[in-house]
Structure 1
């Protein structure tokens, strides 16, 4: 369990940590289908977002609604070269990979949304090749199966980041889609460990015989979800002061992992960068804590 986002608590944390800059977030596949996990932090003016979205309509929507701390570019992030973007009936299925109709037929779901309505030739850009992109603290990525390619072509950028929120899959919704184990292996090479799942979607297999099973009670098959990976998770003392400050901000306001926030603050306190009163002032703002 964890505490939900609170603007007042995030503002207190920012004040006592006094980082040299705002926490910086990169959103690859920023298609605004759902509220971003960093929405509260952005609305509070406590982070800066760089987003990438190659679907023209979705990109235009992002630009039209962008605030002063949001920067969007119409790039597809991946390797360096030509690729085919498969635009599906449901925009959330659009991918550089082909939808895996064998999987969708097996589970009896999602075929209509995953049907390709148009194929567009595009050029993809590697994360490490974006010279104007500043160093960032969090990569949030949701590009329907192309995540490991981004990691492999973003080694330099990711080596200085702290966290990755990535969509992971348990079954191949796309042809040749790297699943969660492949993402874990790719990120582990860069020093990241699996921290938690923000959510994991499960479904009921749908066919003539399962139609009597009420969906509310019978959803056993894991499909996909958002997983959090942290760099330096098992060596918090090995992080620098500024890294600890941004890890604390992200863990409280985006990841909702306040035990990590307290751990990072504890290390800063041990270094004399934060007082015990400031640390306990944060803990006092959390629900379900014991008295000092």
Structure 2
């Protein structure tokens, strides 16, 4: 994926000649996994504002910070006072507490129960951050606070073309919004579900657990990342820059080559750029071509 993305992004950069980088905010930028926008940023085509209120995770981000990343320590959400539950496993930290009832059913994550340190915080909304410009992409993994983050940034997201959000399929935290509430907020802001990047599932504990391949037999969906894009049904309202940024994101972040080609067709139809779609397909591997 990384090699293919690099080739496609080089091709698109030459043909689209972007005026500015794609602007990305990553709320919950815990460095336990490589970010999906890494290839785009490494190619000099993205600028990223990464939010991580957990001190240990933020220190790791700072220690290996590339030039394109601005690391911020604010906890993003509905503006006001809150309690941040910092778990030793930093990826579990949240303004919500892990649910004993849910974990009792799942049989997973028990080791985290009761290990949190309560830290009073002042939550800030994305729209309150004057130093961060309007966004093209929001990636949010806030352990249950995704709806709050989205609601806090309706201004910053008013021209955004995509959101990558962690979707909770089975509740892990007491009080976290349900899946339909997150979907409803995204749709109210003009986004529609485009694809799932991955889903995480777990095997439910049972009397035969030790005899089973947990990875192969796990059936209970927990969560996963979903890509929402601003509805293209009314793309005549989009600027050329928005269409070009979505092409970059489709090619280099969420591997939606048909979407990238649709964007290139739109730009060509507008006479905004020379035709690029055929050359794009030429850069795809053989297994993706007829």
Q: Would the TM-score normalized by the shorter structure come out above 0.5?
A: yes
Deviations 1:161-212 (A, max 9, x none): 1111111111110001113211110110000001111100111101324443
8 A contact 1:3–1:286 mirrored in 2? no
Deviations 1:99-146 (A, max 9, x none): 111100111111113543311111110011111111121101111000
* Secondary structure of residue in 1 paired with 2:155: helix
Unmatched segments (≥5 aa) in structure 2 = none
What is the rounded CA distance, in whole Å, between the counterparts of 1:198 and 1:4 in structure 2? 18
What is the rounded CA distance, in whole Å, between the counterparts of 1:230 and 1:114 in structure 2? 36
Deviations 1:72-92 (A, max 9, x none): 111000011111010113111
Aligned to 1:271: 270
Q: Give the C-alpha shift of residue 157 in structure 1.
A: 1.1
8 A contact 2:251–2:257 mirrored in 1? yes
Aligned to 1:130: 129
- 1:146 and 2:145 correspond: yes
Aligned to 2:25: 26
8 A contact 1:162–1:247 mirrored in 2? yes
What is the rounded CA distance, in whole Å, between the counterparts of 1:216 and 1:75 in structure 2? 36
8 A contact 1:85–1:121 mirrored in 2? yes
* Secondary structure of residue in 2 paired with 1:155: coil
Unmatched segments (≥5 aa) in structure 1 = none
What is the rounded CA distance, in whole Å, between the counterparts of 2:177 and 2:72 in structure 1? 26
Deviations 1:46-87 (A, max 9, x none): 211111111122212212211222111110000111110101
Aligned to 1:284: 282
Q: Give the C-alpha shift of residue 93 in structure 1.
A: 0.6
Aligned to 1:56: 55
Q: Give the C-alpha shift of residue 160 in structure 1.
A: 1.2
Q: How many residue pairs align between the two structures? A: 289
Report the TM-score when normalising by structure 1. Answer: 0.94
Aligned to 1:99: 98
Alignment RMSD, CA only? Answer: 1.7
What is the rounded CA distance, in whole Å, between the counterparts of 1:142 and 1:133 in structure 2? 19
What is the rounded CA distance, in whole Å, between the counterparts of 1:60 and 1:226 in structure 2? 25
8 A contact 1:89–1:114 mirrored in 2? no
Q: Give the C-alpha shift of residue 275 in structure 1.
A: 1.9
Aligned to 2:155: 156
* Secondary structure of residue in 2 paired with 1:183: helix
Deviations 1:213-232 (A, max 9, x none): 33233111111011111112
Aligned to 1:226: 225
What is the rounded CA distance, in whole Å, between the counterparts of 1:234 and 1:181 in structure 2? 22
8 A contact 2:56–2:90 mirrored in 1? no
8 A contact 2:168–2:224 mirrored in 1? yes
* Secondary structure of residue in 1 paired with 2:263: helix
